[in-house]
Every structure is written in structure tokens, then in C-alpha cells.
Amino acid sequence: MSAPAFDLQSHSLHSDGDLPVADVVANAAEAGVELLALSDHDTVDGVDEALAAGALHGVRITPATEISAVDGPYEDLHVLGYGIDHRSALLQERLADARADRERRADAMAERLEKLGFAVDPAPIEARKAAGKPVGRPHLAQAVLDHPDNAERLVEEGHESVSTFIPAYLIQGKPGYVARTHPTVEEAIGWIHDAAGVAVWAHPFWDISEPDEVLAAVDRYSAAGLDGVEVFYTSHTEEQTLLLADRCAELGLLRTGSSDYHGPDHRLFSRFRAFDLHGREPNLGPIAHGTLAAPARGGDGLCIWLTGLSGSGKSTVGRIAAGELRDRGYRVEMLDGDDVRQNICDGLGFSREDREINVRRIAFVADLLARNGVVTFVAAVSPYRRPRDDARARMGARFVEVHVRASVETCEERDVKGLYERARAGKIEAFTGVSDPYEEPLSPELELDTESESAQDSAARLVELVEARLAERAEAERAAAG
């Protein structure tokens, strides 16, 4: 399997990377990265620079950050936030608080190192603080490595770089280490969700070694609202990757990946796209759409995607259900395939490529409505599975697929526009059900057989499904709130 064209973790001078943001993006473009996340630790200061550089180099950028978090005995876990509103004042305030805790921790570790006999140059540390940049263990370690008074001892102990000094002194259980106090993993997830983002646990096996402990943590964080796991990672073995991929599939979590790029001269993280899928498929969900933030939590928005042959009754059933829900006080909109083609897809034909473009555009609009609390009915033939699956990945739990089933013969009998007749006469090319295939949904949330039940009965079943889904989500949100 070829290397993926995405890389969802990279770092710049705004945290512990070696390069300015523009150089990070330029190197990603040169390496063939098409979707990139600049995920500096506890800051979003480089995101606007990344977006500008991405536009210049043709790389889609998803706004991101990597939040350091704690969870009981695990004192340095990382939660990635993708698709966040990086201009959110609340998010920036929370990240500043996290950086302040990092500074407190860095000062405490500097004191410990000095008690251990090391000289620590305060100038670069204070310069980062003054610039509002996070201070982490790599910067503290470099301040020790660069001080001439430490040269002889460092040679004796074999420390030529940050990569050897940190494991010897600045990790849990080592004499210079000081633990973080907050945020917890659950708090980090909440920060990301409040900023309309997707929360992903970064490199699980980098921080926890035992497989059973990792899986237990995945289960626990999933219950707390985690959206995905960084399954594919430069240091993950095949066994670890497959273990994570399987558990994420069971729990319905996203499966992301990265090379954790820090710069071309970094000992471990120096090359983009340097991670292996080991034969498994990633699932990026809404992250795949670059700057589009994830669906907002809360509210009562859903996308009810009605798919089926032309004449199966999609629009009729959808409009009846939409009217009933509107009468019950819900905010409802209807995106009918014919209306959409006339207003936002005019000029598209009926080739496979044009049909897929049509579905992507409908999904974009439906997502905007649904994540703003609107129950949105889509009535579109949408004959191919992949675009429908892409729409599901974009919207996650807000997407509900409904197969409106009727035979070609029945649809042809109902055809007041004469489309089937024209298609059979060769006047319409690539007509679904006649000269082009319809790929039925494999696991729709609901099937409506409009040959065996009336449109009113089908609509009643649809309304029942919508209200049940909304009730489930409301209950889940109450439980998450405590």
C-alpha cells in the first residue's frame, strides 16, 4: 500500500520543532503531503501562518494543536485537536493556562537539574516566555546542552543531543522530572469540543507500553467523548497498529496517522509520511475536509440522507416527514436533488465524476445546516456508495442514511417526467437503474419500502427514527455533562 498523502502531526518553532512554519509546510509539500496539520504543543500561534503557506504550496491545512494532559499515573499524554476554531478566545485562554503550567513545570525541573549539578542557561528559556511560546523539556534540555560548564560531564555520560538527555533526566521516574497538574485528558477533550474540533489521542504506545493498558485507556477516553486515535504512527509496530485499528473499528472511532515531523535533522521525526498503514484503512472523518471544523456538539441537528432510484418516493416521504417535524417545533430544511442541481450544481452532467461532485456539494451544505441545529433532509439518488460514505465520515453521528426502496418497474410506472422512457430510448445517457448502476446502501439506519407501504406510513417511521436519534443524543449529552 502506498504511503498516505496526509500527515496529521507536525511542529514548528512555535513549540518544539526546528523550523519556521513556512518551512514546515514547504517541506510537507515537497514530500507529497496533501493534507497537513501543524500541531504545536499547547498553542495555535502558527496556524494562520500554516494556512497562508498551505495556500501558496497547494497543501490543505487543518487547524490543530496538541494538548499535553494527565490521567492518573500517566503524567504526559497528548490529545490532538483538529478542525478547531483556532481564533476562539476561550481556547486561546485555556492554552495559555496550559502553557503557564508548562512554565511552572519547566522552572521546577530547572531547579532540580541545578541541584543535580548542571548549569542551566536561563536566557533562551526566558526568551521563549517573553515571546509567549511554550517551554517544554526539549528547550530545557537544550539549555543544559548548550552551557559550556556542562560539556565535560555531558561527554562522560554520552549526551550529545536532546534525544538522549531527556530520557536520562526528564521523563517520569528520572531525577529531574516534575509532573504536570492539568488539564486532564477529559478536560482536553472538552476544550477541543468547545472549539468545534475533533479530539484524537496521539501516539498511544509512545506514552503507555502495555497493550492492555492502552486498550483500557482507549475505552475510557472514548466514553469521555474522544473522537479518534492516532493509530498509524512512525514508531508503532505492526502489532500495535492492528490492535488499535481493530479497537477503533469496534468503537466507531476515527483512525488517523502522522510522522510527528519536527525537522529534517531531528533524530526520530525527520521525514514526512514516515508511517505505515500495515494494510489497514485510515478513517479521517471530518478531518479530511481540511479547514472545515467538526460538527458542533449539542443542538438538535441531523442529516437524514434519503437515497434511492428516481421515482422511489424520496422527496415525497422526506417532505411529509419534514412538515410533521416542523409542526412539532423542530428547525427543518429540505435539500431536494432537483432543487440543488438548479441552484448550486447547475452545469454538472451525469457522469460518475459529476455525480460525485454533486453529492459532495450537497453534503457540504447539509453539514453546515446540521451542525447548526437543523434537521436536514436530503433527497438525492446519490447512486454510488463512496460519496455517501464520505458524507457519513464528514458528519459522523449526525448522518443518518435511509434507503428508499422501490423496483425499477414501479419507479418507471410512477415516472410523470418520462425520464425512464427517454433513457430506454437512448436520449438520456448513464441513467441510474437503466444504463448506470445503483449501489444500494450496505447498512442503512432505515429502509423504507414504498411499494409495500404508503408515503404517509413511511414518513411516520422516518419521524420516529429522527426523534429517537435526537433523544439518544440528548441523553448522551446529559450523561457526559455529569
Asked whether the bond before 183 is cis by omega within 30 degrees of 0, the reply is yes
Contact (Cβ atoms closer than 8 angstroms) between residue 318 and residue 304:
yes
Cell of 104: 511552572
Cell of 392: 457519513
So which residues are the catalytic ones?
382
Contact (Cβ atoms closer than 8 angstroms) between residue 350 and residue 434:
no
Residue with cell 445546516: 369
